[in-house]
Chain A
Amino acid sequence: MSKNTKTFEKVNYIVRSAPGFNKRLIEEISLSKDEPDWMKELRLKSLEFFLKRPNPNFGVDISDFDINGIIPYLKPDAKKSASWDEVPEEIKDTFEKLGIPEAERKVFAGVGAQYDSEVVYQNIKKQLSKLGVIFLDMESAVREYPEIVKKYFMHAVPPNDHKFAALHGAVWSGGSFVYVPENVEVPMPLQAYFMMASPGIGQFEHTLIIVNKGAKLHFIEGCSAPKYSVSNLHSGMVEIYVEEGATMRYSTIQNWSKNTYNLNTKRAIVGKDATMIWVSGSIGSAKTMLYPASILNGKGARAEHMNITYAGNGQHLDTGSKVIHLAPYTSSKVDARSISSDGGYAFYRGLLRVSKLAHHVKSSVECSALMMDDKSTSGTLPIMEIMNNEADIGHEARIGRIKEEQIYYLMSRGLSEDDAKALIVRGFMAPVVKQLPLEYAIEFNRLVSMNFKSNLG
């Protein structure tokens, strides 16, 4: 990273022109990042799409979203950080309960400078470079590996894919770049955490991962501590390319503060005999739209989607998965679970498409929803478009309210009502939560318990 400090020094351009979301602003962003022309062009093209495209006509209500609200944070010299005093009490309280060290709290809250993880990061970097693995922040990757980045950047998700993909293309900033050479097994999970270069940067981050033939990688995005965002929009993008015979596992916990619109796009292109595994836990934000996608375009490609969504008071989380089978002998498995509690709204939206040419496809889709009370809402919309007759498709959907009898049974053994509910929810989530890295699983369980005022550790 130190290699690029020179280029950062040039960044000093202050905008005095009238505010507005226009070409000029985008050019400023590009200039401030000292980007090559092709990236600037990509941003401008994205801007055009963004201004033209209508809002999505499904999912959460974003009619009160105001683009002007994010402009101040896009300006290169803008003070992105709010102060610790502005961080909501509820978040500080959660840090306390999760036992997050003092030094890290401010980073997670988006108001502090980089947590002192530099040493850890440097050690990992040394190990990785021996293996030929590139792990960089996205801006540096654009400058240092332009030929690779240009080949893949916004190819899995083109800027005109949807309105917020276009917005992302125009204003993206930060994120991680990982390149794993052929047949290299990365021995430890890589964490986006190391790439948190400065406060406020994580809101339009772009993650680009290329796992070459026969290689193996586990990437962990985000963190279970709540992230406080200075602007109220998070629109990140993840693009993953899993080449022949490679295995990629992508684990996420989304815990944005409850004032955030989280409109994220994640997509993987999965090659011949390659495996893509998405494990996602969503618990934060006011409104979320997130449907990780796997495009199985090589014979024998496989995808697994494991998703847990928890919508509490005031939250509307619209999550799901997309699996597109383009090649024969491809297989997929979706296990999506949601919990709605205390007036929350959790919706599962899934698409399974089997193309004409994809014969001998195997897929199972399971979605289940648990409602904790009669104030809360759940819904599922699993769409299946099967164009090939030789497909083995299984589907199961379950939606229901927590049973009084279950609560009574657990309470008859001494558990408080809150603990009983937390335990039932925990059991319901277990098959998916178990797939998260251990410390994340523990924290996710703890976050859920906290919602029930339960003390289950």
Chain B
Amino acid sequence: MSLLNISNLHAKVNDKEVIKGLNIKIDYGEVHAIMGPNGSGKTTLANLIMGNPKYEITDGEILFNGKNVIGMPVNERARLGIFQSFQYPEEIPGVTVRNFLKLAYDTIYPDEKMSMFDFGDMLIKMADQLKIDRSFLDRNINVGFSGGERKKSEILQLNVLKPKLAVLDETDSGLDIDALRIVAKGINNVIGPDIGVLLITHYQRILDYVTPHFVHVFIDGKIVKTGGPEMAKELEIEGYESFAM
């Protein structure tokens, strides 16, 4: 049984079909990269796996650990272990990263009952590891964050919440080389036998730092070709057009 098994997925946004018969299988321990041009529906796919109610699934299934999650509320999927990192994460004024993450952690791991102090220690350790300034933890979520800080914040959350499936949407876009290294380190940090990673990206740049087991070329709502890590380089040279049908 795969960690994630999507078959024949069709979905609409504002009455327009965006996902047109998508199939993908991800197992524990695997890193998959989905690469595709802008507007091909990559972000939609991330939202569908997480369960964004804005999107309407018209056909197919999404099995998570063998269980069909279509129709399941977002927060329940999060509790099962699905995580989506956002390209443009929302600002939440008045709520600190620390308090929010504690709340999220307690919700996902209700039996741990970690104290605020122990949790704080864990946060600081992770922030240090990822070279994220500690003051970050007491700022309001994404308020006044630069593009790079938002991405780092998402990766910090990934590290704290330790999901089973991480769907990382354009985590590398708009980052300078230093920030890219930090973000990549944060991703490599969680990769292991207890997690599957789906890395959605436009450029192959991040794949110099995070090595995928599979690369999928995603064009016009479906995967048109799947290969190994070497395919990313190919794409970089030849462009997406050579894959268009």
Contact = CB atoms under 8 A, between A and B. Distances in A.
Interface of A: 403-406, 408-417, 419-420, 423-424, 426-431, 456
A383 to B, nearest CB: 27
A414 B108 contact: yes
A406 B95 CA distance: 12
Chain B interface residue number, banded:
20 to 34
Contacts of A409: 86, 89-90, 92
B38 interface: no
Nearest to B88: A405
Contacts of A420: 75
Interface stretch (B22-30, B99-107, B171-179, B234-242): B99-107
A423 B95 contact: yes
A405 B89 CA distance: 9
B92 A410 contact: yes
Given A404-B54, A423-B100, A423-B103, A412 B94 contact: no
Nearest to A413: B104
B200 interface: no
A412 B95 contact: no
B162 to A, nearest CB: 12
Nearest to B106: A414
Contacts of A419: 103, 107
B75 A411 contact: yes
Contacts of B43: none
Given A412-B84, A423-B100, A417 B92 contact: no
B94 A426 contact: yes
B103 A411 contact: no
Contact of A430 (B86, B94, B101): B94
A412 B84 CA distance: 7
A411 B90 contact: no
B168 interface: no
B107 A415 contact: yes
B100 A413 contact: yes
Contacts of A408: 52-54, 74, 90
B35 interface: no
Contacts, number: 75
11 contacts: A409-B89, A412-B83, A412-B84, A412-B86, A413-B101, A413-B108, A414-B104, A415-B103, A417-B73, A426-B94, A430-B95
Chain A binding surface, main DSSP class: helix
B184 interface: no
B79 interface: yes
Given A417-B73, A427-B94, 9 more contacts: A409-B90, A410-B92, A410-B100, A412-B74, A412-B75, A414-B79, A423-B92, A430-B95, A456-B103
A413 B89 CA distance: 12
A406 B90 contact: yes
A413 B161 contact: yes
B201 interface: no
A419 B107 CA distance: 10
Given A414-B104, A415-B107, A403 B90 contact: yes
Contacts of A406: 90-92
A414 B92 contact: no
A307 to B, nearest CB: 16
Q: Give the most central of A411, A412, A420: most B CB within 10 Å.
A: A412
Contact of B75 (A405, A415, A423, A430): A415
A456 B157 CA distance: 20
B94 A431 contact: yes
Contact of B78 (A403, A412, A426): A412
B199 interface: no
B90 to A, nearest CB: 4
B142 to A, nearest CB: 9
A403 B88 CA distance: 14
B226 interface: no
Contacts of A414: 75, 78-79, 104, 107-108, 161
Contacts of A424: 92, 95
Contacts of B78: 411-414
A308 to B, nearest CB: 12
A418 to B, nearest CB: 10
A408 B90 CA distance: 9
The residue in B92, B94, B140 that gathers the most chain A C-beta atoms within 10 A of its C-beta is B94
Nearest to B157: A413
Contacts of B89: 409
B94 A405 contact: no
A44 to B, nearest CB: 50
A404 B53 CA distance: 10
Nearest to A337: B94
Nearest to B91: A406
Closest A-B pairs by Cβ, 3 of them: A427-B94, A430-B94, A427-B95
Contacts of B92: 406, 409-410, 423-424, 427
Contacts of B95: 423-424, 426-427, 430
B53 to A, nearest CB: 8
Nearest to A431: B94
B66 interface: no
B34 interface: no
B180 interface: no
